[in-house]
Each structure stands twice: as C-alpha cells, then as structure tokens.
A and B are shown apart, each in its own frame.
Chain A
C-alpha cells in the first residue's frame, strides 16, 4: 500500500503545472517566468480548492485505492481547469488584448444618472432567485455527496467520498446508468426517426397539412404521468387492450410490464409517443429553412429521392438534429421519471430503475440524502458533458447557410 502525503502531492502538482505552462509558452522564444509562476499558482489553487474542503481525507492511510484514485482525479481536473484559465489569460495578454470583451456598443441604451439603480432593479429579481434556488442547491449537491445525511435528521456527518465510492462499487448503480442510456438511445432513435419521417410528409404541399400537424403534435402537451396512465391502460398484461387485440389476432400475449426487456420497451414507447411531437415541430421548422430549389436542382442533376434526402436534407438539418438529440436525451434522463413511476414503479424486480428513479428510491424512500446527492451530481456531470458535446458539435458541423 502506497501513501500519498498531501504536501508532497501539492508540491508535485505545483511543479508539474508550472513546467507545463512554461513549456506551453516556450515557443515565444525565451523562458517566460510569469508563465512558470502562473502555472505554479494554478497547481496550488487546483489542489487547495479541491482538497481543502475535503481535508485531504482521500489520502488518509485507511482509505482504499478508489478514494485515492478519485482524489487524484479531482485534483487533476481542478488543476486542468485553472491551467486552462491561466493559458487563456496569458494568451490574450501576450497578444495585447484586454481580458474583458469590449463593452457592446448598442445605440439604444438608456442614459440617466439613475441608470445603475434601474439596472440593478431589472436584474436583481432574476439574479437573487437563481442564486438562492439554483446556485446554492448546486453547491449543496456537491456538499451532500460528502456527508451522511438522513431525511428528517438535523445532524449530518462528514464521510469523505464514501457516497461516491459506494456508487462506483455498486453493480445496481451501473445497471441503472446503463438502463438510462438504453432508454435515451431508444427514445432518440424512435422519436427522432419517426418524427423526421412525419415532418417530411407534413412539409409536402399537401391538402390539410396544418390539420395533420395539429393532430400529430398534441401529445407534447400531455404530462409524462398522464402518458404513463394512458399506456398503462393499453399495455396492462391482464386487462390491457393491446394484449386483447394481439390474442384475438395472433394468439399471443406479451408481458409488457412484467418482463425486464418488454418493460423497458414499454417505457421507451411511452416516452417516444410523448416526445415525438416536439421533434416533428422542430424538424418541420428545419425543413422549411431548406430552399426547395436545392432539391429541385439535385433532381435535375439526376439524384433520386434517397440521394436528395441523405446528401442535401440531412446535412442541412444537422443543427436541428443536434439540438433535438440533446433535448430528447435530457427528456429521457429526467422526464421519464413520471412514466416509470406510473408504468412499472421500477419493477419487475428493479429492472426499470433508471438513474433518476434511483435518486428518488435512495433519497426519498430510503431516506439517504447523502447518497442521493452523490447520484444527482453524477447525473449533473453527464448532462453537462452532453451539453458541451452538443455545443461543440453544432459549432463544428454548422451547415453551409442556404
């Protein structure tokens, strides 16, 4: 068993970060001492801000390897973040640009001696609500993850990263995460491919296209809970009408809600039904942006319908597709909570406990808010990652504006 001393760790990170930033700016010709200094400062901030609230507990003797690993990971990520900021600042300063973007020159601003007061009056309501009910709970979620907190008990106890390590070692949690991704994949595939097909059809110059559109998108307004109730009526294994029809026509009954695979499928179908109208709306908007001349030109050049679709329509839709992938994924992560709670309650035998449902099961039913907080943080990191991916993707893949 190896031991990591906090002081050695700090010294090492400071040295490495300093060397890294110094190396990054070496191309400028000479050694930049302030780059070295900024790198060192980033390393110091990275280790101290990450580890000081945890009191270096992940490196205590009796901790296991996973704690040490997580501790190192946190230090690494935190230091990388500060290095990125330092790098950005130095790059801007060395080119001679100011740090802050120039104040926008908007012609219509109000000028009066009272302007600062009025500005504050306009912005404070939103800023206060966001600080209290968004940023503070966000900070608390971080904190909850490191504590033993029971629902209803006023006292809490610091437990280092135990809530997180127990998640990592819990196969049930990995199952929940995997299931969540499967549901997301299912919803994205079903709701988006069918949505695009329908949007294509509605976008044709058809008689009554508006009526079709209205009749196709209304499930957007239905809540996940009601969607679950409607599909419960259809899919109930004993009294459900779908099984009744299946039995009369094909002679089979399907255990829609009583079998792990079918129950997941039922959840995906319900969620896709609920979400598809949203996709149809946005795809129609995207298709309206594509000028028909382009497709006409392609057809004159001898392209068939499939070539026109895959070579022109699909690439031009990509900004909308990216946006919808993220929206559908986030729907599948969080809104399916209602669907699952109504359709299966996580059953049969916990087979449909998604990550968000597990937060509820552990935090509210199991009264363990610390663990639930840790799980919320994992979900948060995933969502932030997906959003960043989408942001980068949509920036790189912006279609040539037509």
Chain B
C-alpha cells in the first residue's frame, strides 16, 4: 500500500469525484431487500396463519383465510389471553415506572451530593450488572416464596425496581448537565427534589424514554421467572400463556389460534419500541453528536 498520494495525483483524483470504496448502490438495495424479506417472513406468515382455519393452514395458502374470528375466540375467550395480556401490561408498566423513579433518585444521590465512600456505593450498584437475574432465579424463588409472594404481582414487580443499567445511564446523563444549573437552582432556594422535577427530568426525556423501552421490553418478554413463581391463571403473564397454548394445540396442530396469540403478544412491545425508537437511540448515546 502506498503511504501518501502525490499532490498532483490528489488533485486529479479528488476533485473529479471521490470514488466510493463500497460496492455500487443497487447491490445494497438488493441485499437489504432480501434481508427485509427473510427477516419479515416469519411474522408475515404468522399473521397469515392467524387468519386461517386448520384446513387452510395445511394447504399452505399464502393469502388470508377465513378463520380469523374463530381463532380470536379460541385465544381470547377459551384460553383467556386477554387476562394474560392485561397482567403483562400492568407489570411491565409498573416495573418501567418503578425503575425510572428509583434510578432517577439514585442518580440524583450519586451526582448532586457530596459524601465519603461514594465510589463504594456506585460500585455496589454497578457490580450487579455482572449477575443476570436468570442465574439468581433459583435462590430468588426460595426467597420470594418465603415472603409468601408466590402468585402475586409483587413477585413480578418489586424485585426488579432497582436497576444498575438505568442508574448508570442517569448518572452519565446528569454528569453531562452543566453544574451551573444546580447552582442557580440553589441560589433560587430550590431543594434537590424541586431541582429534580423542575430541571433534571425535563432535561432527561430521551434517557427516560430509552430506559422505559428497554425495561418494558425486558419485563414483557420475561419467561423463566413468571414460569417459576406464578402458578395461578389469574396472575399469569402472556409469555407463559403462549407457551401453554402451544401445549394445548399440540394434539390437533391448530396453528391458527397459536399464531393469533403470538401476533397479539408481540403488538404491545412492537408499538412501544417503534414509538420510542428515537429516544432509545439517543438515550444509549447511539446517535452521539460530537
């Protein structure tokens, strides 16, 4: 490889039109279209099957069928998917709000106060990043049972109110906010909580949005923990409901209702994700501007 271009070469090559080092663009469109089709196919086909009767599914027809109402009835009325979805919605929203509130407070405590041993407290919080909850599930199961929290919403929400990820994101974000703001707030006689609600939160919407997305998805998609701790139908969440539906339909291979359930269970997280996509990218500094 040549180290540097001669000035004359530079002039002759750069000023005409810089040659792209990537393949031609039509190639990119082709690859992307193929990727979109392959990635989209499983959900597309599931949506089709969700409208079909058993007979239509076996005929592999690639257009909507006539079983929509029947499949809906089976999942919602017979299996009670509506209840599961409401449960999931409730715990996901609760966990997302709880995490944002707890982590906003912790971020405030870690940035806007002075005390010895702060690094120790930060380390105590951040170390939990290394231990996924799945590893603790067995011990947590015993603990939550000892609290007599089995089959309650508390078991699905309270253990998840604290989060190292969101504390970390809020701390980073608060540190990037100019300290003059809090000094001005103090001069005006505001207390830390007024400062939090009047100044910090309005400045943190993208971080809050990112945390809401990630925590909502995490909680909605949780499977192992509710499978362990929830036995009653009343409090069951949608993921376990779908898994149960799979067992129910195993004998007659009724994929229509199952796909109806899968599509319905995917709608809330997809909507939240697509609505808050921009905040998600901003909050994780994925669209970093320099």
Contact = CB atoms under 8 A, between A and B. Distances in A.
Contacts of A60: none
A244 B61 CA distance: 11
B180 to A, nearest CB: 7
Nearest to A381: B135
Given A103-B118, A212-B32, A223 B239 contact: yes
Given A103-B118, A110-B186, A221-B269, A204 B25 contact: yes
Contacts of A125: 102, 105-106, 161-162
Given A194-B35, A225-B239, 11 more contacts: A144-B138, A204-B28, A221-B217, A222-B221, A226-B265, A229-B242, A229-B246, A234-B45, A305-B21, A334-B135, A364-B228
B86 interface: no
Nearest to A107: B179
A234 B281 CA distance: 32
B108 A337 contact: no
B138 A141 contact: yes
Interface stretch (A31-39, A89-97, A372-380): A372-380
Interface string B154-187: 0000111110100100000001001111110010
Interface of A: 100-101, 103-104, 106-112, 115-116, 118-119, 121-123, 125-127, 129-130, 132-138, 140-141, 144, 149, 194, 197-198, 200-202, 204, 206, 212, 214-216, 218-227, 229-234, 238-239, 241, 244, 273, 276, 281-282, 284-285, 288-289, 295-296, 298-305, 307-308, 330, 333-334, 337-338, 341-342, 356, 359-360, 363-364, 369, 372-373, 376-377, 379-380, 383-384, 387
A273 B43 CA distance: 11
Contacts of B114: 103-104, 106, 109, 111, 115
B243 A341 contact: yes
Contact of B116 (A103, A198, A212, A273): A103
A224 B135 contact: no
A118 B194 CA distance: 12
Interface stretch (B70-78, B201-209, B253-261): B253-261
Contacts of B118: 103-104
A100 B132 contact: no
A216 B138 CA distance: 36
A282 B288 CA distance: 12
26 contacts: A101-B119, A107-B179, A107-B180, A108-B181, A110-B112, A110-B113, A121-B109, A125-B161, A127-B121, A129-B102, A135-B128, A218-B274, A221-B269, A225-B242, A233-B45, A288-B287, A298-B21, A299-B20, A299-B21, A302-B1, A303-B21, A304-B21, A338-B223, A338-B239, A364-B228, A376-B138
A189 B45 CA distance: 26
Contacts of B106: 122-123, 125-126
A239 B253 contact: yes
Interface of B: 1-5, 9-10, 13-14, 18-23, 25, 28-29, 31-32, 35-36, 39-43, 45-46, 49, 57-58, 60, 102-103, 105-106, 108-119, 121, 124-125, 128-132, 134-143, 158-162, 164, 167, 175, 178-183, 186, 191-193, 195, 217, 220-221, 223-224, 228, 239, 242-243, 246, 253, 255, 258-259, 261-262, 265-266, 269-270, 272-274, 277, 281, 286-288
A137 B2 contact: no
Given A127-B121, A214-B277, A225-B242, A289 B21 contact: no
A202 B35 CA distance: 11
Contacts, number: 313
A369 B287 CA distance: 45
A355 B45 CA distance: 32
A119 B266 contact: no
B262 A229 contact: yes
Pick from B5, B57, B112, B121 the residue with the most CB of A within 10 Å: B112
Contacts of A200: 22
A303 B18 CA distance: 13
Contacts of B41: 234
Contact of A129 (B110, B111, B162, B179): B162
A130 B141 CA distance: 16
A338 B130 CA distance: 21
Main secondary structure of the interface of A (DSSP, over half): helix
Contacts of B220: 223
Nearest to A296: B18
A115 B113 contact: yes
Given A116-B115, A118-B113, A305-B22, A224 B31 contact: no
Contact of B42 (A104, A132, A273, A285): A273
A337 B224 contact: yes
A369 B273 contact: no
B13 to A, nearest CB: 6
Nearest to A378: B135
A137 B143 contact: yes
Contacts of A204: 22, 25, 28
A343 B258 CA distance: 14
A230 B262 contact: yes
Contact of A133 (B46, B135, B158): B158
Given A129-B162, A221-B272, A288-B287, A122 B109 contact: yes
A360 B262 contact: no
Contact of B135 (A108, A127, A141, A299): A141
Given A106-B179, A110-B186, A373-B139, A129 B273 contact: no
B223 A138 contact: no
A252 B17 CA distance: 51
Given A110-B112, A202-B32, A233-B259, A118 B192 contact: yes
A112 B250 CA distance: 66
A77 B135 CA distance: 21
A330 B135 CA distance: 11
B58 to A, nearest CB: 7
B36 to A, nearest CB: 5
Q: Ordered nearest first, which 7 A-B pairs have the shortest CB separation?
A: A122-B109, A108-B179, A223-B221, A108-B182, A129-B162, A137-B139, A107-B179
Given A308-B21, A360-B224, A119 B113 contact: yes
